[in-house]
Amino acid sequence: MSARIPIRPRRLRSSAAMRRLVSQTQVRASQLVLPMFVIDGPDDADDRPVSSMPGVVQHSIDSLRRVASEAAEAGVGGVMLFGIPEHRDAVGSGATDPEGILNRATAAVAAEVGDAVVVSTDLCLDEFTDHGHCGVLDGEGRVDNDATLVRYAEMALAQAEAGSALLGLSGMMDGQVAAVREALDAAGRTDIAILAYAAKYASAFYGPFREAVDSQLQGDRRTYQLDPANAREGVREAALDVAEGADIVMVKPALPYLDVLREVADVSPVPVWAYQVSGEYAMVEAAAANGWIAREAAIMESVTAIVRAGADAVLTYWAMELAEWTRR
């Protein structure tokens, strides 16, 4: 005899079809952004695998264009480009050189898929400086916030000219959104959107990324990235970036900061994105390679959690696979 239980939530879990029908959170290909790395050298050079991120490579320009086209065909919403120059200096000259690797790659990808996906670029100096910091240094070796803003404004114009539609301001300098917006508008580039890495934390989860971009960093970035202990500070930074003209704000990393993501999403008048960073990727791949977790299920669950917490879009190295899975 059945117990008298009038309310049985399990009824809505009774079959795969029922679970799909009542699902409260869906991940769509169009809300995924694929980060990609491009390295200086011959346009047709072989890809270079990133050992700490299985499946991720440093692309040549030809390879980058091909994968960007595949992403567009898969329905992925955007790509985020990171450049790895052959030469670096104290002020990151390669970041503003029209013939620098990131600007050349941006032009190539924009010509290939610019009408099909949003081509976005990382606007930061860390890949281009010989000291690995996100800005220029003063005489005592400290990051000079205001001098860095001048370089960011120059980078913004170079990237816009190359064909980037969305500039990803990831350096965490005070006033960076206002400085870039002013420079773009003064140059008549009011069409270029700004993605502010608003709540970017000084995280231990960035390790594999530093291999991917051949980072030269000595020391850390704790004087400009956020303290992992501070949630309210992340919400404050997002509000400041919106006030300065950001079109989108970002929380980074994603999974360790779902609480911050939720708080930002609750108050933001602009779209909120999250970056599923290299360490998050590497942990799942390593555990799956050892047979400790089910790879596809863990990937899908992790990205669903990020969207559930409030992300309107997710930067993830699994964007291509996720786009395929969401079509099932």
**pLDDT, tens only, 242-297:** 999 999 999 999 999 999 999 999 999 999 999 999 999 999 999 999 999 999 99
Instruction: Give the integer Cα–Cα distance in Å for 49 and 104.
Output: 21
Give yes or no: 120 in active site: no
Q: Is residue 58 situated within a structural domain?
A: yes
With vertex at residue 251, the alpha carbon angle to CA 273 and CA 85, rounded to the nearest 5 degrees, is: 90
- Residue 270 Cα to chain centre, angstroms: 17
Instruction: Give the integer Cα–Cα distance in Å for 101 and 83.
Output: 6
Q: Is residue 238 situated within a structural domain?
A: yes
Q: Is residue 118 situated within a structural domain?
A: yes
In this prediction the pTM is: 0.96
The set of long-range contacts for 229-232, using a CB threshold of 8 Å and a minimum separation of 24, is 231/259, 231/260, 231/263
Looking at residue 24, what is its pLDDT? Answer: 96
Q: What is the domain range of residue 91?
A: 26-325
Looking at residue 3, what is its pLDDT? Answer: 84
Catalytic residue of the set 200, 224, 234, 244: 200
Number of folded domains that form the chain: 1
Residue 311 — pLDDT band, cuts 50, 70, 90?
very high
pLDDT averaged over every residue in the chain: 97
Q: How many CA atoms lie within 13 A of 268 on its CB side?
A: 31
Neighbours of 163 (CB within 10 A): 17
Give yes or no: 200 in active site: yes
Q: Is residue 65 situated within a structural domain?
A: yes
Q: Is residue 247 situated within a structural domain?
A: yes
Looking at residue 80, what is its pLDDT? Answer: 98
Q: Is residue 191 situated within a structural domain?
A: yes
CATH at residue 40: 3.20.20.70
Looking at residue 269, what is its pLDDT? Answer: 98
Give me the residue label for tokens 């005592």. Answer: 140
Residue 1 — pLDDT band, cuts 50, 70, 90?
low
Q: Is residue 12 situated within a structural domain?
A: no
Amino acid at 112: E
Catalytic residue of the set 65, 88, 221, 252: 252
Q: Is residue 290 situated within a structural domain?
A: yes
- With 80 as the cut, is the pLDDT of residue 207 above it? yes
Residue 2 — pLDDT band, cuts 50, 70, 90?
confident
